[in-house]
Amino acid sequence: MDDGGLAMKTVKCQSLSDAIERLQKYVDEVWHSSPRFTEADRRKWFKAVPEDSYGEEKYRVELWVLEGSPVKQIVIINHLMKEICCHDGTLHKEIRFVWDVYDEERYGSFRRGRAARVGRGASCE
């Protein structure tokens, strides 16, 4: 099926810190690569990190927004699913960073959710 070149790229990472590092490199390339940007001009992340669901850190979900008007990037970090989804300002998914990926042979190529567990067709994205 032709997606018109709009398929979301998935980047496999070793850990959460590696995924965040790669996310920052991606954002720097998109928003801070112009020679006119200095370190002082770098946009900052606004971060919302609510209390952990069920009192456990593994259930944490974070929302990060890159400052700017209009909004430049929206990022959702899902600790349980071990993925970072990076959206542009119009909420189109651009890129996903996953870490500590489980057995690809058993679950398929980065499939998540019920479809992955029961081995059914398409990804749940």
Q: Where are the extended beta strands (E) located within the chain?
A: 9-13, 45-48, 61-66, 73-78, 83-88, 93-99
Judge whether residue 27 has pLDDT over 50.
yes
What is residue 6's predicted lDDT score, i.e. its pLDDT?
58
pLDDT in tens, 42-76: 888 999 988 877 888 888 999 999 988 888 899 99
Residue 125 has pLDDT above 50, yes or no: no
φ, ψ of residue 32 to 5 degrees: the values are -120, 15
* pLDDT level of residue 115 (50, 70, 90 thresholds): very low
Domain locations along the chain: 9-118
